[in-house]
Amino acid sequence: MGKHAYVFPGQGSQYSGMGKSLYENNLQAKELFEQANEILGFRISDIMFAGTDEELKQTKVTQPAVFIHSVIAFKTLADAKPDMVAGHSLGEFSALVANGSLSFEDALQLVSIRAQAMQKACEINPSTMAAILALADEKVEEICSEVQNETGEVVVPANYNCPGQLVISGSIKGIEIACERMKAAGAKRALVLPVGGAFHSLLMVPAKDELAAAIEAIHFNKPLCPVYQNVNAKAVIDIDEIKKNLIDQLTSAVRWTQCVQAMVADGASHFIEAGPGKVLQGLVLKIDKSVSAESFAG
C-alpha cells in the first residue's frame, strides 16, 4: 500500500462561495467557521460565501480564507489519516494543523499576522511576480541572477510549481526586464501576475521579523507525521526546524516540484488536496504521472 499525502493550496485559489456547502451541511464545519469569525474580529465567512472577487483579493482576507477553507475541508474528510503533509506557501500553515503541530486557533492567528505583515511589506516596496512558462528552471535562474547583477533590481525564482512553470518575484522594473529576456530566451509566456507584491523574495524582509516574533510566541506540538517544507523540500518533524523553515519561507523560494518529488521518493502514491480549487492536484500530476491525485473542497 502506498502512502497518503495531504496537500494544501496557497493564495490565488480563493473563489466566491468557497466553503459555503461545508458550512451549510456540516455542524463541525459551521462551528469552526464561527470560531474563525470570532478570532479575526469580522465575519470572514460572509466574504467567503458571497464576497466579490475584489473583496476576496485583499491579502488580509485571502490568506485566512484559503487557510480556513483548507483546514475545515481536511477536518471533515471522514478518513483523513495523512502519512505526510505539505502546503504551497500559505498552505504550509494548513499542513501544520493537519499534522497536529498547530491548533486551528493558533495557526489562524499566525496566518492573519502573516497576511497583514506581507501587505505592509508590499506597500513599502512596490513589487510583483510573473509566471514563466516552458523554460528550463536553470535558464530562469540564470536570467534572474543576470538581471539582478546588471541592474541592482531584485529578481528571484519564487515558486517552483512544476517542470516548465516557475514564478519569479521582484521589483516592478526588475520583473519587466526579466520577462523580456525570458521571452527572448524561448519562454512560451512570461506573464506578470495580479498580485500585490514580491512574495518569497528579499522584499518580504520587513514582514519576516513580525512573523518570527509571532511564531516564537506560539506553542507547537510534536507532529503526528512529517511535513515537507517549501524551503528545503525535506521531511521535517523537529519543531525548532519547522519554525525556522516557516519564518524563512517568506523570503525563500517555494520548492513545490521538489517537495512532491521527495514525497513520492518516500512512498507517497496518493495525493489528496484539501481546500479551494484544484491547482495542486494538477501540479502533482505534472510533476509525477505515476501517482494518483484528487481534490476535496467540501
Name beta bridge partners: 169.
129, 156
Determine the distance from the C-alpha atom of residue 106 to the mean position of all C-alpha atoms in its chain, rounded to a whole number: 18
Q: Which of 45, 89, 127, 252 is catalytic?
A: 89
Which residue has 518569497 as its cell numbers? 200
Strand 3-8 and strand 84-87: pairing? Answer: parallel
Written as one letter, the residue type at 236 is: V
5 phi/psi in degrees, rounded to 5 = -110, 125
Spatial separation of the C-alpha atoms in residues 126 and 70, rounded to whole Å: 29
Q: Are 257 and 160 in contact (CB under 8 A)?
A: yes
Q: Which of 200, 201, 252, 295 is catalytic?
A: 200
Tell me the three cell numbers of residue 271: 495525493
H or E element, residue 248: helix 239-248
Spatial separation of the C-alpha atoms in residues 298 and 282, rounded to whole Å: 18
Q: Are 282 and 260 in contact (CB under 8 A)?
A: no
Residue 22 buriedness (CB in 10 A; 0-12 / 13-18 / 19+)? buried
4 is catalytic: no
Spatial separation of the C-alpha atoms in residues 205 and 117, rounded to whole Å: 10
89 is catalytic: yes
Q: Residue 272 in 3-state DSSP?
A: strand
Please give the span between the terminal C-alpha atoms of the chain, in angstroms, as a whole number.
26
The catalytic residues are 89, 200
